Structure 1
Amino acid sequence: MAFIGMDHGTTGISFCIMDDNEEIIDIFKIGREQSKKGEVSPVEELSKRVDLDSVKLMAITYSMGDGINKISPIDKVKDRGILSIDGAGKVTGGGTSVYSELQSTNIPAILIPGLHKDSDSLDPLFRAAYSHQASPEKVSICYNAFKETGWENMIVADISSNSVDILIENSRIKGAMDACVGAMGVIHGPLDLQMIRDIDEGKCSANEAFSNAGAVKIAGIEGKVANLKDALFEKYIDGDEDAKLAVDTLIMTVAMEIAGLIAVSKNKIEGVVLTGSVGSCKNPFDFEKEINKYLKDNYPLKVISKESGAIGAAQIAFDLYNGKKEILGIPAEY
């Protein structure tokens, strides 16, 4: 038997294949542009690594996930589980082609929802405050964090192209701060007053502002989304002052967001989990060490794999197949 998890990320689509002992067989990633152009087939790549007939369940994430509030069989989900693709960051079409190809197979599959105003499992205060809190892969990231640590009360900080921090209490996701309202990521970030003015004056759309509001804005970096993090890190290594300011600012905003979630938690936080391509970074800077300068050793820190989205999705598939009825408070129809 095998189980598959898919993470629909900003720079690419990652897959984790897991056996019936919950051991990872393989993890691989398909670039969005490659998928869109038909250069790579997810089904072909999966079939190279596992007998597809042996796959008992696949858990996938897609876009905002705001059209559903339960983990649901993919064949029962309308419109790929989203209300709209507008305002969701840079759209390439690569994720859509992967979704369509996987949907056309006979692999049993479930779709993980995002966290939003219609998520009955969340704290009503978070639902009232924010129409959208996190996309579906944040749920699978949190599940991997839960499985790795066993902490029932924690903050999960996913720092990569965007930054999203999630509050978990009593083994349930209570709420989260989405990229457009809180901390900076490498690419995406919150809309400040100047951006709102630029939008009102017709200089850019809100989505364009959001997609250029991260650390790249401070570092003055432009280019293909898949290359921006490396470009930022290269400038940082070269001692570029703007790049250092960008990284330091990103870290500061993440620390503020984590501290804010700790402040509103009703339970004592057991620790903070760091993940994502930046959150798990050790070089050219140690993100764990830098964030701890703000947290001041008050909370244990745990770094997990930057592929936690795909890993957590595979773990969700495994546990639902084996009888679980909910994931971190989110009900499953499977």
Structure 2
Amino acid sequence: MFIGVDHGTRAIRFANTDGKCFVIPREEAGRLAPAEIADRIREAFDLGDGGAGGAEKVDLLALCYSMGDGICEIVRIEDAENRGVISQDGAGLHVGGGTNVFDAVREAKWPAILLPGIHDRSDIDPRMRVFSHGASPEKVGLAYKVRKDGPEDFIISDASSNVVTIGVAAGKIVGAIDAPIFAPGLLHGPLDVAAIRKVDADEMTANEAFTRGGILRKRGLTLKGCTDEEKEAAFESLALYVAMEVSAMAVLLRDHGAAKPALYLAGDPAPRIAGRVSQLLGREVLALESCDAALGCALIAKDVYNGAREVLGIGVDGRVWG
């Protein structure tokens, strides 16, 4: 069996190549011991040692962890220093759920690979390396799911708590725009002038400014606590910013010979705003399923297990087959 793990902002999703998926909210994962998480994975996928009783074994698991900026290739989990990140400190909320999942996989001793994020040392368009970070590893899984469905040229904007957009031309990731750079999500967003002033005045940290910089949080709102009118206005703003960011990524892809890439939306609001984003862009934008990133990671695990030397232009470390 091949399993993929999507380390998302609000939940951690697990999927196998048969399309079975289950979810653990990140806060819940943060309260569970690694052994408890491993047991949930075993139960969900009927895992065992491959022996009697019909239980299956894990042939290979593809894992996402945090920003993935400490590695440039797909590596075995045991070969990743510091869990494949430069620092545990980054942009966003830290609740420990992803760390517990990482430890659960490692302690269960399942064969596992770790996916890199897209960052300034990735093999992408060099002009995009001015930004230290472009996308976390689960976006690689999301892009691989779309690529396996057919298109070679496409843009995916993952829009929910954050907005992250990734561009693929001729089957290779050429660039990504991370959440602190351009479009605000519902909760988190880039630092504007007011936020910079507050940081300089020691009224908040830069990370606090980012996690409060979203369309709703800038106004002190949450999805559960706002009125229908406020919610509708927030989704209208989100659709506009997503359309703007997708348009920006389309400029890069056009320069790579991809004049009309397929367009996709991911994230919980995707079905709700896809029609409006399509109107704004004058082109069809398709909504992806919530478990597609985890499924894409599982598909990466399967193809690497079968000998793939690269995935979307990302190399595979030779020790994976060692």
Q: Is the 8 A contact 1:218 1:246 kept in 2?
A: no
Structure-2 change in CA distance of 1:35 and 1:239 (3 Å): closer
Secondary structure at the aligned position of 1:306 is classed as coil
Task: Give the deviation of 1:67 after TM superposition.
Answer: 0.4
Deviation per residue, 1:268-318 (Å, 9 max, x gap): 123101111122x2xxxx311110121113xx4222212221111111101
Secondary structure at the aligned position of 1:248 is classed as helix
- Pick the aligned partner of 1:111 from 109, 114, 126: 114
Deviation per residue, 1:159-205 (Å, 9 max, x gap): 12211011111100000110001112121111111111111111111
Kindly indicate whether residue 42 of structure 2 is the aligned counterpart of residue 47 of structure 1.
yes
Bigger mean CA offset, 30-39 vs 9-18:
30-39
Correspondence list, 1:1-334, <5 A: 2-18=1-17, 23-24=18-19, 26-38=20-32, 41-48=36-43, 49-53=45-49, 54-119=57-122, 121-127=123-129, 129-148=130-149, 150-221=150-221, 228-229=222-223, 231=224, 235=226, 238-240=227-229, 242-265=230-253, 266=255, 267-279=258-270, 281=271, 286-297=272-283, 300-333=284-317, 334=320
Task: Give the deviation of 1:219 after TM superposition.
Answer: 4.8
CA distance in 1, matches of 2:109, 2:100: 17
Task: Give the deviation of 1:218 after TM superposition.
Answer: 4.6
Q: Is the 8 A contact 1:155 1:272 kept in 2?
A: yes
Computed over aligned residues only, the root mean square deviation of the Cα atoms, in angstroms, reads 1.6
Please report the TM-score for the alignment, with normalisation by the length of structure 1.
0.88
Deviation per residue, 1:224-283 (Å, 9 max, x gap): xxxx54x16xx3xx433x33332221111111110111122222123101111122x2xx
> Which residue identity lines up with residue 138 of structure 1 in the other structure?
K
Secondary structure at the aligned position of 1:264 is classed as helix
Unaligned runs of at least 5 residues, structure 1:
222-227
Q: Is the 8 A contact 2:235 2:273 kept in 1?
A: no
CA distance in 1, matches of 2:285, 2:234: 23
Structure-2 change in CA distance of 1:17 and 1:50 (3 Å): farther
State the match for 2:52 in structure 1: none
> Which residue identity lines up with residue 310 of structure 1 in the other structure?
A
CA distance in 1, matches of 2:196, 2:235: 23
CA distance in 1, matches of 2:214, 2:146: 25
CA distance in 2, matches of 1:246, 1:219: 10
CA distance in 1, matches of 2:99, 2:206: 22
Task: Give the deviation of 1:38 after TM superposition.
Answer: 2.1
Task: Give the deviation of 1:12 after TM superposition.
Answer: 1.7
Q: What fraction of aligned residue pairs are identical, expressed as a percent?
A: 37
> Which residue identity lines up with residue 133 of structure 2 in the other structure?
H
Deviation per residue, 1:19-39 (Å, 9 max, x gap): xxxx22x21111222222227
Q: How many residues align structurally? A: 306
Q: Is the 8 A contact 1:36 1:92 kept in 2?
A: yes
Q: Is the 8 A contact 2:33 2:100 kept in 1?
A: no
CA distance in 2, matches of 1:258, 1:145: 16
Unaligned runs of at least 5 residues, structure 2:
50-56
Segments ≥4 residues shifted beyond 4 Å: none
